[in-house]
Amino acid sequence: MIDETGKQLGVFPLEEALRLAQERNLDLIQVTEKVEPPVCKLGDYGKYLYSLEKKEKTTKTKAGEIKGVRISFAISPHDLETKAKMAEKFLKKGYRVRVELILKGRQKALGDFAKGKMNQFLETLGKLTPFKTERDLKREPRGFTMIITKQ
């Protein structure tokens, strides 16, 4: 058993542990039941639940969050590699990545060239890390977008 300050008190029978908790106006909280005898601690049960909720919120997976990488129509090969490395970092951290190719003005008429740039980016990224496409290349009013995730 562990008291409210974190100090280990030792192994107690259930009745004695309950009596000790009652004397200190605290609750007897079972921390884990996987071991024999089960580990318990003295403390405020409301605070314990609050700390568990807080811990659960901070350990949520990042799979639902999306990071974005924008590439332009006239991007140089070196800049394309830099953007691919940035996307690789996001994928390794567990994020989904939205890859956007923004088209302006007359660039919108050259859709095939833009698709080639996007494929060039995907080839560069494929050399760095494996990935899978969650949403295929899609034409939008501002250009092309796609969403990729870690494989």
Evaluate whether 121 touches 80 at the Cβ level (below 8 Å): yes
Please count the structural domains in the chain.
Answer: 2
* 5 falls within a domain: no
Confidence (pLDDT) at 21: 87
What are the pLDDT digits (tens) for 102-142? 999 988 888 899 899 999 999 999 999 999 998 999 999 98
Question: Residue 123 and residue 146: Cα distance in Å, rounded?
Answer: 14
Query: Which pTM does this prediction carry?
Result: 0.59
* 132 falls within a domain: yes
**E strands, the chain, in order:** 27-32, 39-43, 66-72, 96-102, 131-140, 143-150
Domain holding 37, by residue range, is 14-58
Confidence (pLDDT) at 125: 93
User: Are 51 and 70 part of one and the same domain?
Assistant: no
Confidence (pLDDT) at 59: 66
Q: Is the pLDDT of residue 89 over 90?
A: yes
Evaluate whether 134 touches 96 at the Cβ level (below 8 Å): yes
Confidence (pLDDT) at 60: 65
Q: Is the pLDDT of residue 78 over 80?
A: yes
Confidence (pLDDT) at 69: 95
